[in-house]
Amino acid sequence: MRIIRAAHLGMCFGVRDAVGLALEHADAGPLTILGDLVHNPTVLSALEAKGIAVAQDVAHVKTPTLMVTAHGTSERTLARTRALGFTVVEATCPLVRVAHRAVLTLAREGYHVVIVGQRDHVEVRGLTGDLDRFDVVLEDDDVLALEEHPRLGVAAQTTQAIERVRHLVDLIRRRFPRSEVRFLDTICKPTKQRQSAAVEMARQADVVIVVGGRSSNNTSELVRSCARYCPRVHHVETEADVRPEWFDAAEVVGLTAGTSTPDDVIDRVEARITRGEAAPRPPSRGLPPRPAIPDCAPPRRAVAPGAGPPRSSRADRSRAGRSRRDRSSPPPYGSG
């Protein structure tokens, strides 16, 4: 059995920076994070072990310093929080800030804003928190429920799948042919990289393992994307979730991970797949190295010991995929 990693997987620079910022401020004094800094239980447990508190409501914050999560929040919320006397540290991902600016540009130019995303997700609440009127859509039925406006401005939650967003934008244009529809692509580059790399990997695999938090939207999108190309896809948070029976008769296992998944968690999942039972290891710290890594360079595409030699070229990968079974593209997103 051979294991192949997606060319892009695991922690992005926004998550690494947010975690590094939390550790830096925790070293300086008591810190509370308002909500989950990132959607990964390993990382959250490691932060808790460092003495960092978490509160889901500002009324429960007991420290003078409060941190906003990587998902961002609205200017209105920031102003209310500072008015309560807190020192506010923003760990907002820079690419989420780009999405905020795009949404405010649409509103300022007179468009009725439509966000493609999960209505109750913390990022979407932040994107819409400074707007008086807006809509949020995620499925075809949501678009059918929209009211007509002369100008519609569409942006997206940064971790949405680009295929879904384009499909919904096209549906909005067809539903309102007399309206001006402007789309600003706010899906972040790390999400797009991981999505496309996961699809390329899933085309070659008999089984795919996706590593990431259950509440992580970008991880869930990876699961859905891989399932369109490989019939056996499993979502795990750690190596403890891996089951040996998943790999019966599998020749190639694909491995990818969400943008908040630590490297050592991915490594231990791979070890569990390779050996059937991971060797005893120290508990994961779940934290990125300090200082924070400034970019999203892809990790090594390693093949575990004893799992067979890696393929040497893209052509080899292509031939291997064709020789096994047809992995042709499925119908466009949303059809059927």
Q: What is the CATH number of the domain that holds 59?
A: 3.40.50.11270
User: How many CB atoms within 10 Å of residue 58?
Assistant: 14
Same domain, 202 and 288: yes
Same domain, 36 and 159: no
Beta strands in 197-241 (DSSP E): 207-211, 233-236
Same domain, 102 and 125: yes
Is 206 inside a domain boundary?
Answer: yes
Is 315 inside a domain boundary?
Answer: yes
| Average pLDDT, integer, range 254-275 | 96
pLDDT value of position 275:
84
Last residue of a domain, one of 135, 152, 187: 187
Same domain, 150 and 209: no
Same domain, 47 and 133: no
Last residue of a domain, one of 70, 92, 114: 92
Chain segment 96-154, per-residue pLDDT in tens: 999 999 999 999 999 999 999 999 999 999 999 999 999 999 999 999 999 999 999 99
Beta strands in the chain (DSSP E): 2-5, 32-34, 53-55, 65-68, 87-90, 112-116, 134-137, 151-156, 180-183, 207-211, 233-236, 252-257
Chain segment 286-311, per-residue pLDDT in tens: 555 544 333 333 343 433 334 444 44
User: Coil, strand, or helix at residue 236?
Assistant: strand
Per the CB < 8 A criterion, the answer to whether 42 and 284 are in contact is yes
Does the active-site annotation cover 139?
A: no
Sheet containing 134-137: order of strands: 134-137, 112-116, 151-156, 180-183
Same domain, 107 and 85: no
Phi/psi zone of residue 29: left (φ > 0), alpha (ψ -120 to 50 degrees), beta? left
Q: What is the CATH number of the domain that holds 295?
A: 3.40.1010.20
Same domain, 201 and 83: no
Rg (CA), the chain: 21
User: Coil, strand, or helix at residue 141?
Assistant: helix
Identified catalytic residue from 24, 90, 109, 123: 123
User: How many CB atoms within 10 Å of residue 279?
Assistant: 8
Is 129 inside a domain boundary?
Answer: yes
What is the rounded (10 degree) CA torsion for 294, 297, 300, 301? 150
Chain segment 20-65, per-residue pLDDT in tens: 999 999 999 999 999 999 899 999 999 999 999 999 999 999 999 9
Domain housing 319: 2-11+190-324
Is 125 inside a domain boundary?
Answer: yes
Last residue of a domain, one of 59, 77, 92: 92
Is 265 inside a domain boundary?
Answer: yes
pLDDT value of position 170:
98
Same domain, 46 and 117: no
Chain segment 139-152, per-residue pLDDT in tens: 999 999 999 999 99
Same domain, 261 and 314: yes
Same domain, 30 and 50: yes
Residue 85: pLDDT band (50, 70, 90) is very high
Main-chain dihedrals φ then ψ at residue 257, nearest 5 degrees: -155, 150
Same domain, 66 and 116: no
pLDDT value of position 287:
54
Q: Which residue has the higher pLDDT, 219 or 334?
A: 219
Is 333 inside a domain boundary?
Answer: no
Is 164 inside a domain boundary?
Answer: yes
Distance from C-alpha of 23 to C-alpha of 41, rounded to nearest angstrom: 16
Is 118 inside a domain boundary?
Answer: yes
pLDDT at 218 > cutoff 60 = yes
Same domain, 230 and 248: yes
Number of domains in the chain: 3
| Nearest residue to 154 (alpha-carbon basis) of 204, 111, 108, 215 | 111
